[in-house]
Chain A
Amino acid sequence: MATTAPPPGGAGARGSGFDSTPVRVAREVAGVLGALALTFLGLTAITFFIGRVMPVDPVLAIVGDRAPQDVYEAVYRELGLDEPIWQQYLLFMADVVRGDFGTSIQTSKPVLEDLLRFFPATLELATAATLVGTLVGVPMGVAAAVNQGRPLDHVLRVVGLVGYSTPVFWLGMMALLVFYAQLGWTPGPGRLDVFYQGLVPQVTGLLLVDSALAGDWTVFWNAASHLVLPTVVLGTFALAYIARMTRSFMLDQLNQEYVLAARVKGVPERVVIWRHAFGNVLVQLITIIGLTYASLLEGSVLTETVFAWPGIGQYITTALFKSDMNAVIGGTIVVGCCFVGVNMLSDLLYRLVDPRTRG
């Protein structure tokens, strides 16, 4: 019995906070903040230097390819490109620390303002897709594991494989073709029908939230209906991955001795699966779901392009092609924040579901 893990939430839970002193908490917080600062310093430095050595000319992105040389040189100096690169970086970071990410070339607006507009579009989509992926993918994976080797398992595995290996772009196009063009069940590309644009004031940038806050339910339902197709497409991708991983985690647990012991003891199968086995895969699952969520928050350029979704993926990609470094770095920082944030959230959840990580 020594090798078997106890079901979580049992007598094994140690009291947390018992040995935590204010000094220790402070040290932990400082450690996290220090790691964060280093992460962002590295992230911005690498992005910045790659941006500067790319054979793309940010000046031409502003003045156009026909610009006379004097106009070109004026902008070159204005951007500070005549300074040594490390100095450019320091100047840039000094502004960033003050909360000024500069102005984007592609939108002529402050990068911060752009991010506040493009990121919520991605956030809304990524959250919905992760929810779909989790709520459908996890039960699918569990069902497949429980029925290992039986027809249901094969069917679910094929579904997962197809979902995981089909290019999301193609899937999006096909979904539009069938559900929008042929059947007319869903609205077309875009976040809203054009007639509804600008009707609700921007508070969070999340259209569902903003329209609910404004009490404008017509806009709410329109936004929701626009969200369906891209969510299903991105969700399929997330679902396939989550289902596959759930299946393999569950199989690991179901082959353990404690499961056998529980079954021998006559514990109902439902309890064996959901309480004993599933309880033990939760930590791994949270990691997988967290990573999926974070990668969706980067913005899916292809999905955003197909669905004309003004998200952060399209924003950063367009910025890269224009050598719009302020926008690229601003976007990178947001993506970095997402990863760090999701990781911290996962850590928190670990503590909730796994008593061994507490204290």
Chain B
Amino acid sequence: MGVAWRRTAAAVACAAGLVAAAPAAPVRAETPADMLVMGTRIDDMITLDPAEIFEFSAAEIANNMYDRIMTYDPGNFAELTGGVVRSWEISADGKTITFAMRDGLTFHSGNPVRAEDAVWSLRRVVKLNKTPAFILTQLGWTPENVDELIRVTGDGAFAITITEDFSPGLVLNALSATVGSVVDKEVVMANAADGDLGYNWLKTDSAGSGPFELRSWNANEAVILNRFDDYHAGAPAMRRVIVRHVAEPAAQRLLLEEGDIDIARTLTPDQLAGLEGTEGVVVEANPKSTLLYLAANDGHEVLGRPAVQDALRYLIDYQGMADTLLKGQVDVHQSFWPSGLWASADDRPYALDVARAEALLDAAGVDDLQVTLDTLNSSPYMEIAQAVQETMGRAGIEVEIAPQDGSALWPKYRARRHELILARWGPDYLDPHSNADSFAHNPDNREEAQLTGKLAWRNGWSDPAINALTRTASRTLDLERREDLYAALQRLHQRVSPFAVMFQQNEVIARHADVDGFVSGPTFDLVFYDGVVKN
């Protein structure tokens, strides 16, 4: 098996290389003027129910089928705006927010979008309690109390009350996540069975009010969306959007060059380089909020020492990688909240410094350290792991790389059985608490606590001062003070944690020059198809 796979891999590399080296031909055919066709990977998609979606491709599709309670304008990701709501008011204690619905919104079914639908949608997320439900349940909502805490308050108005201490800014941001999507209660309930709140039906269907509605989802093949003519912000120019699953990047490139797709989303760097200069094709990088980080298991006898963790941070050639093997794909970023978002701290105190790392290791009494670095068996993890292996080797740390599929890596990570890990993380919503809660907050480090969703817990690390600071920052009402607290938290975390945040990723896409208005925002779900036009 091993040999066969290696041979296959060699053949793939060879073929891909040849395709990449082929002369760039001008774009030939064209897709219809009112149809957007994309080539990407959709094999991660396992559900289309907004109460359950936690996968990249499905979250993106959902954003185009549903309106959320809160949202971002495709042109401005710095400021939160109302989705189905026109305005909101925050109570004096900051615990209750009352929303007023926009008028005249309709679902794809023709039903009006009511306050009742918004309330029911949120309650449904809490009651179904699927993976992303924590975004709402962290606010203190449980299946038992949610009917009381989220309620219709009048004609076109509803209110939410939280029981935990959280800044209202954070709460509003949480309502802009996919779980804040408003579903058509009447349609979903008409398809409900055995008290499942329509879950089994909505997994493969849609009932929203967004610019597009689902026509079909054929796993490993394509998702097809149709325009919703009565969309409140105006019907999109594209009558139909087709998201094609093209697993092989070389095939994706050929499809783009031949004009059979308008946008190629998952090309590899060598193919993107091959497309440079192709007439009629534009390659563009969209900054994302995904971070690539290295983490050490704090429970490890040697890796748990703070000086060793600090030494590791000096043994990574951040700029070298960003300038060469990851060129265009990443920017150096060293704190847990991504650059370009509110409350980000862009300090970059670390650079490759072998002498300094050696001094730190000596002081910690470490020589001859052998560690395993677990990571995913795909790009860019393998490239980064090899570079890290080389630079760490310069200080005498012998790194053995263990590349594996996610299905093997994640169980290991969640069970704290790794030594070093190289992985990525993206926020669930655009409030710094989303990342702080995972990277910095670990209230119970015991094995039996099983806080497996948090990166700090997975790495067996808990710092009382940082925990307290994280909690204070999440509760602070005053915006400026809150921003300062997060900046302080990030600078502290950067120095004392077992994490070495390295890069912030860019999504690099190639599109036909005549396709305009495709917006790929900072998070994986904030991708908008409705502004797309073909000139």
Distance (Å) between the CB of A181 and the closest chain B CB? 5
Whether A318 pairs with B251 at a CB distance below 8 angstroms is no
Docked complex Cα distance between A161 and B181 (Å): 58
- Which residues of B are found within 8 Å of A174, using beta-carbon distances? 15, 18
With contacts A169-B8, A195-B35 taken as known, whether A177 is within 8 angstroms of B18 at the C-beta atoms is yes
Interface locus among A66-74, A80-88, A328-336: A66-74
Given A70-B129, A106-B46, A305-B247, A310:B221 Cβ within 8 A: yes
The residues of B that contact A108 with a CB separation of less than 8 Å are: 46-48, 203-204, 219
Chain A residues within 8 Å of B19, by CB:
173, 177
Q: How far is the CB of B8 from chain A (nearest CB, A)?
A: 6
- Would you call B407 and A321 a contact (CB within 8 A)? yes
B255 at the interface (CB under 8 A from A): yes
| Residues of B with C-beta under 8 A to A60 | 407, 410-411, 414
Q: Which residue of B lies closest to A70 (CB)?
A: B129
Which residues of A are found within 8 Å of B54, using beta-carbon distances?
63-64, 66-67
The residues in B between 235 and 267 inclusive whose CB is less than 8 angstroms from any CB of A are 242, 244-248, 250-251, 254-255, 257-258, 260
B452 with A109: CB separation less than 8 A: no
> Given A109-B204, A189-B255, A321-B407 in contact, is the A173-B25 Cβ separation under 8 Å?
no
**B:45-82 near A, CB below 8 Å:** 46-48, 54-55
Is the pair A188, B258 in contact by a Cβ cutoff of 8 Å? Answer: yes
Per the bound structure, the CA–CA distance linking A68 and B255 in Å amounts to 40
In the docked arrangement, what's the CA distance between A314 and B41, Å? 13
Q: How many residues of A contact B (CB 8 A)?
A: 58
Residues of A within 8 A of B224 (CB): 197-198
B216 at the interface (CB under 8 A from A): yes
- Whether A314 pairs with B220 at a CB distance below 8 angstroms is yes
Return chain A residues, CB-CB under 8 Å to B191.
none
The distance from the CB of A108 to the nearest CB of chain B, in whole angstroms, is 4
Q: What are the residues of chain A within 8 A of B293 when measuring CB–CB?
A: none
Cα–Cα, bound, A278→B130 (Å): 64
- Tell whether, in the assembled complex, residue A177 and residue B22 are in contact, meaning their CB atoms are under 8 Å apart: yes
Q: Which among A57, A69, A195 is the interface contact of B407 at CB below 8 angstroms?
A: A57
Bound CA–CA A57/B417 (angstroms):
15
A240 and B405 alpha carbons, distance in the complex (Å): 35
Flag whether A215 is at the interface (Cβ < 8 A): no
**Does B12 have its Cβ within 8 Å of any Cβ on chain A?**
yes
Among A295-318, those with CB < 8 Å from B are: 302, 305-308, 310, 314-315, 318
Contact between B47 and A56, CB atoms less than 8 A apart: no
Q: Are A194 and B15 in contact (CB under 8 A)?
A: no
How far is B415's CA from A72's CA once the two chains are assembled, in angstroms?
13
CB closest residue in chain B, given A73: B450
Is A62 in the interface zone, CB < 8 Å from B? Answer: yes
Is A170 on the interface with B (CB-CB < 8 A)? yes
Given the known inter-chain contacts A67-B452, A170-B11, A195-B32, please indicate yes or no for A176 contacting B410, CB distance below 8 A: no
B15 touches A71 (CB 8 A): no
CB-based nearest A residue for B54: A64
| Chain A residues with CB below 8 A from B218, complex form | 117, 310
A71 touching B133 by the CB < 8 A rule? yes
Please measure, in the bound complex, the distance between the C-alpha atom of A56 and the C-alpha atom of B405, giving whole angstroms. Answer: 9
**Does B406 interact with chain A (Cβ within 8 Å)?**
yes
CB distance from A188 to the nearest CB of B (A): 5
A315 to B247, CA, bound (A): 12
Among B12, B14, B18, B55: residue with most chain A CB under 10 A: B12
Are the C-beta atoms of A67 and B131 separated by less than 8 Å?
A: yes
Chain A residues, CB < 8 A from B12: 169-170
Beta-carbon contact of B11 and A188 below 8 Å: no
Say whether B162 faces chain A, with CB atoms less than 8 Å apart: no
Alpha-carbon gap, A16 to B257, bound state (A): 62
**Does B483 touch A at the CB level, under 8 Å?**
no
Q: B25's contact among A74, A106, A181, A188, by CB below 8 Å, is which?
A: A181
- Interface presence of A40 (CB below 8 A): no
Which residues of B have CB within 8 Å of A106? 43, 46, 219-220
The CA of A181 and the CA of B253, in the complex, are separated in Å by 10
- A106 and B245 CA atoms in complex are apart in Å by 14
Other-chain contact of A69, B47, B413, B451 (Cβ < 8 Å): B451
Across the interface, which residues of A come within 8 angstroms of B453, CB to CB? Answer: 66-69
Within 8 Å CB of A188, what residues of B? 251, 254-255, 258, 260
B215 interface residue, CB < 8 Å from A?
yes
Residues of A within 8 A of B233 (CB): none
B254:A180 contact, CB within 8 angstroms:
yes
Are B254 and A57 in contact, CB atoms less than 8 angstroms apart?
no
Is B126 in contact with chain A by the CB < 8 A criterion?
Answer: no
Q: A318–B246 Cα gap in the complex (Å)?
A: 14
Is B281 on the interface with A (CB-CB < 8 A)?
no
- Cβ of B407 and Cβ of A61 under 8 Å apart? yes
B348 at the interface (CB under 8 A from A): no
- Bound Cα distance A194, B218 (Å): 13
Please judge, given known A-B contacts A70-B129, A71-B129, A108-B46, whether A65 and B406 are in contact too, CB under 8 Å. Answer: yes
The answer to whether the Cβ of B408 comes within 8 Å of any Cβ in the partner chain is: yes
Whether A57 contacts B220 in the complex (CB less than 8 A), given A62-B46, A65-B406, A306-B248, comes out as no
Q: Contact: B407 with A197, CB < 8 Å?
A: no
Q: Please, which residue of chain B has its CB at the minimum distance from the CB of A181?
A: B254
Known: A69-B450, A72-B452, A117-B218. A308 touches B246 (CB 8 A): yes
A182 / chain B contacts, CB cutoff of 8 Å: 25
| Contact with B251, one of A72, A170, A307, A322 (Cβ below 8 angstroms) | A307
Answer yes or no: B157 CB below 8 A from chain A CBs. no
* Contact surface of A with B, Cβ cutoff 8 Å: 55-57, 60-72, 74, 104-109, 114, 117-118, 167, 169-170, 173-174, 176-177, 180-182, 184, 187-190, 193-195, 197-198, 302, 305-308, 310, 314-315, 318, 321-323
Sample 24 A-B pairs with CB under 8 A, ordered by A number.
A63-B54, A68-B131, A68-B452, A68-B453, A72-B452, A106-B43, A108-B203, A109-B204, A169-B15, A170-B11, A174-B15, A177-B19, A180-B254, A180-B258, A188-B254, A193-B260, A194-B260, A197-B216, A197-B242, A198-B215, A198-B216, A198-B224, A308-B245, A322-B407
Interface residues of B (CB under 8 A from A): 7-8, 11-12, 14-16, 18-19, 22, 25, 28, 31-32, 35, 37, 43, 46-48, 54-55, 129-131, 133-134, 203-204, 215-216, 218-222, 224, 242, 244-248, 250-251, 254-255, 257-258, 260, 405-408, 410-411, 413-414, 450-453
Closest 10 CB pairs of A and B: A107-B219, A65-B410, A173-B15, A167-B11, A69-B450, A56-B407, A57-B411, A310-B221, A67-B131, A108-B203
| Extra A-B contacts (14), CB below 8 Å, given A68-B452, A68-B453, A117-B218 | A56-B405, A64-B54, A66-B54, A69-B452, A108-B219, A167-B11, A170-B14, A176-B251, A176-B254, A181-B254, A187-B260, A305-B248, A308-B246, A321-B407
